[in-house]
Amino acid sequence: MSDKTDKSLIRCVVAGATGVMGRNLVQAILQHPRCVLTAALVRSSSPYIGTDIGHIMNGQDVGILCSDDIIEACLHTDAIIDFTHADYSVSLAEMAAQARLVHIIGTTGFSPSQHNFLTTASRHARIVQSANMSLGINLLQYLAEIVTDTLDDTFDIEIIEAHHNQKKDSPSGTALMLGQAIAKTRNIDLNTHAEFTRCGTQTQRQKGYIGFSAIRGGNIVGEHEVCFLGPKEHIKISHHAQDRTLFTDGAIHALLWALSQDPGLYSMQDVLKKSSHNTC
């Protein structure tokens, strides 16, 4: 068990604790001077239920057993950090609202009705939800919005993303997040102005559309580039992730920021624009 017993510490639950991001988050919390791990949540079918999360990670027990008991976990915490899946995140948001917790969500793939539920839950919980917790990616989005707002429609916009060969979705949630921000700035609907596939002989670019390209290979953590392609000049803004812990850093940054906020549904853009003192 951690010897961090100061009651001023931030008590944290990690959902999906045995996954890649979950393990990174557990490690970050165990090492953070202001945080203490109070629960490691896993799915009900997990073979790790009842096993010490530290033993799973590196063989050294930390006194926190993996559990699927959401209610019990939320009784003794200040915050939930959640990189799981949409259905589970919605269940966690319900509990966060009931217990008036901070809920940091790195999950993607929410349906409109699920997103509406997060909005409802945020009346009582402080929720930060983003498809990508990287501070750099969110700065990229901010810069892309500025460039989009500055240029006219003679500039075509393409979003190129690359990830490791085991990634299941395409385009990435981050690429779609960037596309949504750009579409909003251009006052268009991404659902009707996105080009995801070009194959065949009649593939001329449609004016005003946002194009997406995906690369899959090797162990690429994540690369995103937004291209503004005009008749006389090209502008490209890119971000290359070198280590998955940068997403963990962003989640902890969002957690520290959200603790001092009123209930509401926030994005990492809010964290970047309004944060003036909380740091990882």
Which residues are known to be catalytic? 163, 167
Give rounded-to-5 percent helix, strand, coil for the chain.
Answer: 35, 25, 40
C-alpha distances in Å from residue 170, one per residue of 11, 112, 180, 201, 214? 35, 19, 15, 23, 7
Beta strands in the chain (DSSP E): 10-15, 35-41, 66-67, 79-82, 102-105, 126-129, 156-163, 194-195, 210-216, 222-229, 234-241, 264-266
Distance CA 195, CA 197 (A): 6
- How far is it, in rounded angstroms, from Cα 46 to Cα 44? 6
- Structure tokens that stand for 264 in this block: 């509401």
Sign of CA dihedral 81, 280, 174, 262: positive
